[in-house]
Amino acid sequence: MAAREQTVLQFVPLSTSLSAKVHPVVIFNICDCYVRRPDQADRVIGTLLGSISPDGIVDIRNSYAVPHNESSDQVALDIDYHHNMLLSHQKVNPKEVIVGWYSTGFGVSGGSALIQDFYSREVPNPVHLTVDTGFRNGETSIKAFVSVNLALGDRQLAAQFQEIPLDLRMIEAERVGFDILKTTLVEKVPSDLEGMEASMERLLALIDDVYKYVDNVVEGRVAPDNNIGRFISETVASIPKMSPAAFDQLVNDSLQDHLLLLYLSSLTRTQLSLAEKLNTAAQIL
Amino acid sequence: MANPMARSFLQVAASEEVAAPPLRVVQIEGLVILKIIKHCKEFSPALVTGQLLGLDVGSVLEVTNCFPFPMREEDEEIEADGANYQLEMMRCLREVNVDNNTVGWYQSTLLGSFQTVELIETFMNYQENIRRCVCIIYDPSRSNQGVLALKALKLSDSFMDLHRNNNFTGEKLREKNLTWVDIFEEIPIKVSNSALISAFMTELEADSPVSQCDYDRLQLSTTPFMERNLEFLTECMDDLSVEQQKFQFYYRNLSRQQAQQQTWLQKRRSENMSRKAAGEELLPEEDPSNPIFKPIPEPSRLDSFLITNQIANYCNQINGVAGQSFSRLYLMKALHENDKSP
């Protein structure tokens, strides 16, 4: 969007490096608000909280819905509500500030410019996040925009919404486990050992895949791919080279440490049940 | 609501009037889990709390939303502020149709060291207002190992009875047959998500066959975690032995007092005998003004029960982590051997 000198119609230049990161909790919150929207409402809008790092990455970490009324040509936001909620949120975490606003629906719609205008008074350059809860294209569409002013000479003509790169920070969701988050009902939170089992099974499956691939390449059934080959050799090389004796020593030491701990904990438990019996038994005096 | 309820609210309300079935399951929305994790992690290692909102439907307690509390401060003025904050937040959330019904609270913990007198007091406070409430405990320190350390707890009914009367003497405990295991009841957790979220998450799930969770779980080093666990365990053992000494002291005093009472009684009886012989009036066989008849207060067993609970908890954690480590070590060994053999 370089502004050429001859043209009068120009965009106010924008810091181009702007991008946004969204944490899964924000998506969850927006979806929840949408499910709970009032009867007659088509969409929900709300405020996004987070922080802006010096290099222009907007980190969107929290959100809350703001009640609003929308007719064909005007939008009424509950500004009091917005401010109350902001105060409450800042009591908990003063580091989270307004970074923009969200709306459900596909892309930018008519009233968006008005709301964008309101939020630009709260924070310079607000980010507008749209979450398509209607799955208009048959797939998820979560987009972030910033507005760019379109000016004719000195006159402000309109605001143009420009899409900025959006990074969905799914690592946190991964930590919880997609198995829990993507189904509508999970009977039980997996315990430590069950989780371990699942992870090991996945690891074994991966190793199997690699074996199969290598075998196929060796036997000429699959065309070799140098990139994959490098990855595999890197992976194999990342296993530290140790003499078998040193390795056995290491494993055995670790095993024994853990056995000792187990022993200690069983001893403690036995002690506890003994103490319990002694303490609550009738004292004969 | 994610699950369309076949019953109307009226029916639910009516059926609950008749008899409240015991609380069997806590059903948490994925949103709540993420919110709790966000709050607890951001402030870790400081411990934080927040309120749970939801519905009480039959034997299931649905937790559909939550909000964090600001960091607690001792100042009274700020405490009143906290109450205002809570009301304000509930009012605001009601306006956007969030379930406006407190069902309990959540709190973060460090290595599972949550069994304290404060927790029990908070529980009793909540219990006064809400018939059924639950406390969700999240341990951020364990999430680095790929474990979702969420726990839903409530106090057992028999324990609450005792606590109301503040009666933790050995005799009462024997009568109720209450042991330290019976203080807390863990309630199974179910996780639910709205169909909308489920659709989004299914689409957004990365294609990669390994997730962060797997990396975390296969991490070989557990030493720092174990070390701290053991440190805590040792501290607790010290505390427990202090408590034990209190009891020994009490029993020693008690038996000394009883011996004194016996000697006093014998003296009094022989005196009465001689008075009888002399035809004088008998002296009473009891003397409340005498300090040796003053009952010695029995120390409460609550503290030692809680400490025992803590210790059991640490032991469980050690067992769990050691179990995982064994699997990892054998896995590593197998990998190494496989590596050598071809």
Domain ranges of chain A: 9-174, 190-238
Residue type at position B314: Y
Q: How distant is the Cα of A152 from the closest Cα of chain B, in angstroms?
A: 41
Whether the predicted pLDDT of B155 surpasses 70: yes
- Among chain B residues, the shortest Cα distance to A90 is held by B70
| Region of poorest pLDDT, from A51-55, A230-234, B12-16, B242-246 | B12-16
Give exposure, B41-74, as e/b (b: 16+ Cβ within 10 Å): ebbbeebbbbbbbbbbbeebbbbbbbbbbbeeee
Is residue B106 within 8 Å of residue B176, measured between CB atoms? no
Residue type at position B319: N
- Among chain B residues, the shortest Cα distance to A92 is held by B70
Contact A273/B at CB under 8 A: no
Contact B182/A at CB under 8 A: no
Whether the predicted pLDDT of B72 surpasses 70: no
Cis peptide before B45 (omega within 30 of 0): yes
Question: Which uninterrupted H or E stretch holds A144?
Answer: strand A142-152
Whether the predicted pLDDT of B181 surpasses 90: no
**Confidence band for B18, pLDDT divided at 50, 70 and 90:** very low
| Of B68, B106, B143, B110, residue with least CA distance to A189 | B143
| Region of poorest pLDDT, from B63-67, B88-92, B222-226, B285-289 | B285-289
Q: How distant is the Cα of B108 from the closest Cα of chain A, in angstroms?
A: 15
| Region of poorest pLDDT, from A18-32, A139-153, B248-262 | A139-153
Whether the predicted pLDDT of A15 surpasses 60: no
Enumerate the domain spans of chain B: 9-155+188-215, 235-340
pLDDT digits 0-9 by tens, B110-139: 887 888 888 888 888 888 888 788 899 988
Q: How far apart are the first and last CA of chain B?
A: 57
- Among chain A residues, the shortest Cα distance to B180 is held by A276
Q: Which residues of B touch A186 (CB under 8 A)?
A: 190-192
Average pLDDT (B187-192) is: 88
Whether the predicted pLDDT of A282 surpasses 80: no
Query: For residues A102 and B132, which has the higher predicted lDDT (pLDDT)?
Result: A102
The pLDDT value given to residue B19? 55
| Region of poorest pLDDT, from B153-157, B169-173, B268-272 | B169-173
- Nearest-CB residue to B146 (from A199, A247, A254): A199
Q: Which residues of B touch A244 (CB under 8 A)?
A: 340
Across A165-169, B10-14, B115-119, B314-318, the highest mean pLDDT is recorded for B314-318
Whether the predicted pLDDT of A201 surpasses 90: no
The pLDDT value given to residue B238? 92
Residue B146 Ramachandran class (φ > 0 left, ψ -120 to 50 alpha, else beta): left
Contact A263/B at CB under 8 A: no
Is residue B14 within 8 Å of residue A157, measured between CB atoms? no
Rounded-to-10 torsion of CA B70, B74, B76, B77 = -50
CB neighbours of B281 closer than 8 A, spacing ≥ 6? Answer: B275
Cα-flanking dihedrals φ and ψ of residue B226, to 5°?
Answer: -65, -40
* B306 alpha-carbon distance from chain centroid: 9
Mean pLDDT, rounded, of chain A = 81
Q: What percent of chain B stands above pLDDT 90?
A: 3
Rounded-to-10 torsion of CA A64, A47, B42, B39 = 0
Rounded Cα distance, A88 and A98, in Å: 13
**Confidence band for A48, pLDDT divided at 50, 70 and 90:** very high
Whether the predicted pLDDT of B342 surpasses 50: no
Task: Tell me the Cα Rg of chain B.
Answer: 28
Question: Which uninterrupted H or E stretch holds A127?
Answer: strand A127-131
| Of B170, B215, B53, B262, residue with least CA distance to A199 | B215
Whether the predicted pLDDT of B232 surpasses 50: yes
Q: How distant is the Cα of B197 from the closest Cα of chain A, in angstroms?
A: 6
- Among chain A residues, the shortest Cα distance to B340 is held by A244
The CATH homologous superfamily of the domain defined by B9-155+188-215 = Cytidine Deaminase, domain 2 (3.40.140.10)
| Region of poorest pLDDT, from A21-25, A52-56, B279-283 | B279-283
Residue A194 in tokens: 């069950």
Please say whether the structural domain A9-174 has been given the CATH code 3.40.50.970. Answer: no
Helix (H, G, I), strand (E, B) or coil at B234: helix
Q: Which residues of A touch B218 (CB under 8 A)?
A: 199-200, 203
Counts for chain B of helices (H) and strands (E), in that order: 11, 8
Rounded Cα distance, B79 and B68, in Å: 15
Residue carrying the six token digits 């979450």: A131
Query: For residues A36 and B222, which has the higher predicted lDDT (pLDDT)?
Result: A36
Burial of B121 (0-12, 13-18, 19+ CB in 10 A): exposed
Whether the predicted pLDDT of B254 surpasses 90: no
DSSP conformation class of B181: G
Q: What is the largest CA-CA distance in chain B?
A: 110
DSSP conformation class of B182: G
CB interface of A with B, residues 221-240, below 8 Å: 236, 239
pLDDT digits 0-9 by tens, A129-185: 888 888 877 777 888 888 877 767 666 667 778 888 888 877 767 677 777 777 777
The pLDDT value given to residue A17? 66
The pLDDT value given to residue A49? 92
Check if the interface score ipTM surpasses 0.85: no
Mean pLDDT, rounded, of chain B = 81
| Region of poorest pLDDT, from A158-167, B12-21, B151-160, B330-339 | B12-21
Residue of A21, A22, A23, A25 to mutate, interface with B, max B Cβ within 10 Å: A25
- Nearest-CB residue to B85 (from A29, A91, A140): A91
pLDDT digits 0-9 by tens, A59-74: 898 999 888 887 767 7
Contact B331/A at CB under 8 A: yes
CB neighbours of B154 closer than 8 A, spacing ≥ 6? Answer: B23, B123, B133, B134, B135, B184, B185, B187
Give me the helix-helix angle, B302-340 and A192-218, nearest 10°. Answer: 10
Whether the predicted pLDDT of B208 surpasses 90: no
Rounded-to-10 torsion of CA B251, B252, B254, B260 = 160
pLDDT digits 0-9 by tens, A245-258: 888 888 899 899 99
CB interface of B with A, residues 302-321, below 8 Å: 304, 308, 311-312, 314-315, 318-321
Q: What percent of chain A stands above pLDDT 70?
A: 88
Whether the predicted pLDDT of A4 surpasses 50: no
- Among chain B residues, the shortest Cα distance to A239 is held by B336
Helix (H, G, I), strand (E, B) or coil at B336: helix
CB neighbours of A259 closer than 8 A, spacing ≥ 6? Answer: B322
| Region of poorest pLDDT, from A8-17, B92-101, B290-299 | A8-17
Average pLDDT (A30-50) is: 87
> Across the interface, do B201 and A206 touch by the CB < 8 Å criterion?
no
Residue carrying the six token digits 């009952």: B295
Whether the predicted pLDDT of A263 surpasses 90: yes
Q: How far apart are the first and last CA of chain A?
A: 93
Q: Which residues of B touch A31 (CB under 8 A)?
A: 31, 194, 196-197, 200
Whether the predicted pLDDT of A16 surpasses 60: no
| Of A150, A170, A177, residue with least CA distance to A162 | A150
